[in-house]
Amino acid sequence: MKGITAYGVYLPRLRLSRQAMVEANAWFDSSLRGLGKGERSICNWDEDTITMAVEAGVDCLSALPEKSLSGLKLASTTAPFIDRQNSVLVAEAMNLNSQIRTMDIGSSQRAATSALIAGLESAKQGNEIVIASEHRRTKAGSRAEMLWGDGAAALTVGDDEVIAQCLAIATTAVDFVDHYRGEGADFDYDWEERWIRDEGLMKIVPETVSTVLKSAGLVAADIDHFILPSDQARTPATLAKKLGISMDAVIDNQISFVGVAGAAQPLILLAKALESAQASQLILLLGFGQGCDAILFRTTDRIEHCRPARGLSGAISNRREEINYNKFLSFNNLVERDIGKRGEVDKQTFLSGFNRRKDLLTGFIGGKCRVCGTVQIPREKYCVNPECQALDSQDDFSFANQPGTVLTWTADRLTFDWSPPAYFGMVEFECGGKLMMDFTEVEEGTVDSGSKVSVHFRIRQFDTQRGFRKYFWKAVVEN
């Protein structure tokens, strides 16, 4: 019985007020005032598709007692590397087995549903994880800027302990060009909204839905949860009515308080449905883009006993309001900012040196002495315990999920940082070991000696000359 075995979600903590966007841009386009209610999720300067994918993947695996995975598929149209497999980087940051099969899937807004179909069809033993993550850039003052948001979701699929069984799959492949982003372009180019609805969604989706329902021997009225990712607020309900699906089954796209997260939106909404679903309910998941994917699930009795540590509700509630529109422009490189002389230092990464320490840099792996049990980070040849000092006694020990405490901290406005001041300090982990770390997402006055922190995979530096990003782990103060 193939199906979903666990799910997880990550949304950036920052939520940009749409009213702030309206106030900055309505002088040029007054029609934006009609979109000015609510907020949207935005990445911090050190977050991107990769970091959000890691967060969603970790949340997903928090619900699995056994974390052995045979494959990882990453779906995105905004992966930071064109010729470097992004899914491998995600797998290493999650400390997954190096024998795992990895794959990047993109180039369409239905990349996530296509990746999920591939995972359902290939998962034979154990579980595969499918992650969708999106951080789309938009033109300032555009409709897209108002309606879109950043986010990621992850699902594991397999045969055992299924929480939602896959009943049927259907795909219609049509080169319907509602929008596109060509080679070298920074932003999507889209066509008129009504035309997309009438000629695209209303004609392509019904054919696919009819096929998947016929395959499962069901009718539209049987559907309990209907998922159509779209930044057109009224279209999912309109289409549901045409199909004969109850209005109560339509899953809201969360435009007013999160925004539409592109290729990640189908999996985010599927996680939303799974969070509220009861046993034996039917979920119809659609993905639209150059055709349509339709996947039909029936939840099982295990749905009540498999909840992630955070999930969508936790991700939504973990928010901080942002009203500084200029900060959003800067974080997304939509303005050319004078970063000062301290920001002009060459950030070249020496790949040979990086490769030697990538267990620490990517996986946040320290060491545990097999002689005395002392843990340390970074891992070195000798045990740091003065009463042991054993040579070559270190086994791998992951600090990625270890809580810590701030011993010392500094807020530095002389050191360059994309969101000054730069916070850093000494963190002592509860399991043992200390490390000088950068802090991120610090609210002034919330960090002090004794503050509890968790660690998260983030961007450390940008090498803009060569198009490379350096990642490392940073401390986040737990409120």
pLDDT in tens, 136-188: 999 999 999 999 999 999 999 998 889 999 999 999 999 999 999 999 999 99
- Number of Cα atoms under 13 Å in the Cβ half of residue 313: 7
133 and 48, same domain (yes or no): yes
302 and 416, same domain (yes or no): no
Q: Are strands 164-173 and 39-41 parallel, antiparallel or unpaired?
A: unpaired
164 and 263, same domain (yes or no): yes
What sign has the CA pseudo-torsion 324, 330, 336, 339?
Answer: positive
Does residue 238 form part of some domain?
A: yes
Using only C-alpha atoms, what is the Rg of the chain?
Answer: 23
First to last CA, the chain: 42
- Number of Cα atoms under 13 Å in the Cβ half of residue 213: 20
326 and 441, same domain (yes or no): no
- Split into its structural domains, the chain has a count of 2
What does the pLDDT read at residue 353? 87
The pair of three-digit structure tokens given for residue 276, joined into one six-digit string? 């509220």
In the sheet where 291-299 sits, what is the strand order? 101-105, 69-75, 127-134, 151-158, 3-10, 164-173, 291-299, 282-288, 225-227
Q: How far apart are the C-alpha atoms of 179 and 159, rounded to whole Å?
A: 37
CA 61 to chain centre: 14
Does residue 168 form part of some domain?
A: yes
What does the pLDDT read at residue 473? 98
What does the pLDDT read at residue 67? 64
Q: Which of 304, 331, 358 is where one domain is finished?
A: 331
CATH number at residue 174: 3.40.47.10
Does residue 193 form part of some domain?
A: yes
* Selection from 80, 84, 74, 55 nearest residue 116 by Cα: 74
- pLDDT tens by residue, the chain, 479 residues: 699 999 999 999 999 999 999 999 999 999 999 999 999 999 999 999 999 999 999 999 998 866 689 999 999 999 999 999 999 999 999 999 999 999 999 999 999 999 999 999 886 666 899 999 999 999 999 999 999 999 999 999 998 889 999 999 999 999 999 999 999 999 999 999 999 999 999 999 999 999 999 999 999 999 999 999 999 999 999 999 999 999 999 999 999 999 999 999 999 999 999 999 999 999 999 999 999 999 999 999 999 888 888 999 999 999 999 999 999 999 999 988 877 777 778 788 888 888 889 999 999 999 999 999 999 999 999 999 999 999 999 999 999 999 999 999 999 999 889 999 999 999 999 999 999 999 999 999 999 999 999 999 999 999 888 989 999 999 999 87
407 and 313, same domain (yes or no): no
What does the pLDDT read at residue 305? 83
Does residue 375 form part of some domain?
A: no
What does the pLDDT read at residue 309? 85
Q: Which of 311, 331, 351 is where one domain is finished?
A: 331
Q: How far apart are the C-alpha atoms of 31 and 229, rounded to whole Å?
A: 24
Does residue 370 form part of some domain?
A: no
Does residue 377 form part of some domain?
A: no
Q: How far apart are the C-alpha atoms of 90 and 130, rounded to whole Å?
A: 11
The pair of three-digit structure tokens given for residue 421, joined into one six-digit string? 């001041």
CATH number at residue 464: 2.40.50.840
What does the pLDDT read at residue 441? 95
Q: Is-contact 296 216, C-beta < 8 A?
A: yes
Q: Is-contact 42 134, C-beta < 8 A?
A: no
322 and 439, same domain (yes or no): no
What does the pLDDT read at residue 195? 96
Q: How far apart are the C-alpha atoms of 238 and 119, rounded to whole Å?
A: 31
Beta bridge partners of 454: 476
279 and 139, same domain (yes or no): yes
What is each CA distance from 479 to 20, 104, 240, 463, in whole angstroms?
A: 26, 35, 41, 32
Q: Which of 286, 308, 331 is where one domain is finished?
A: 331
What does the pLDDT read at residue 297? 98
Domain range enclosing 411: 400-477
